[in-house]
Amino acid sequence: MFCKFCGKEIADDAVVCVHCGRAVKPQQEEEKSNPAKTLAILGFVFSFLFALVGLILSIIALNKYKKQEDQSCKGLATAGLIISIVSMALVVIVYIYVFSIAGAYANAISSLL
Ligand SMILES: [Zn+2]
């Protein structure tokens, strides 16, 4: 890698630049927060609780992954997206099912009256 201060080439695992003596701290970059990862985890959790929130968070997470190198937990965002869609589809199916039964009951009752 290259020193971010003087631009000279240094060892990839260097903590201090041998040319200018400044701390380059590569380990700090690894600890850098990954907003896409946080969103992916939240999206995954919410996909079970609130499908719509999970869907939105997962889409935002996947968009953020496109703009960054760190791809950790990207699978979680994809899973959150799929689970959100599936659970929303299930909710729609259940609603249709419940309303069709309610409609059938209403018809049966009205025919009795
Ligand atoms: Zn340097």
Please name the residue that has the structure tokens 């997206």. Answer: 81
Q: pLDDT tens digits for 1-18? A: 899 899 999 998 888 999
pLDDT at 31 over 80: no
Tell me if 58 sits within 8 A of 25, measured CB to CB. Answer: no
- Dihedral of the CA atoms 89, 90, 96, 102 (nearest 10)? -160
pLDDT at 28 over 70: no
| Ligand 1 center–CA 32 separation, angstroms | 21
| Ligand 1 center–CA 28 separation, angstroms | 17
Q: Look at residue 76 in the predicted model and tell me its pLDDT.
A: 93
pLDDT at 32 over 70: no
Q: pLDDT tens digits for 56-111? A: 999 999 999 998 888 889 999 999 999 999 999 999 999 999 999 999 999 999 99
Question: Is the full-model pTM beyond 0.75?
Answer: no
Residues with CB under 5 A from ligand 1 (ion): 3, 5-6, 17, 19-20
| Ligand 1 center–CA 71 separation, angstroms | 28
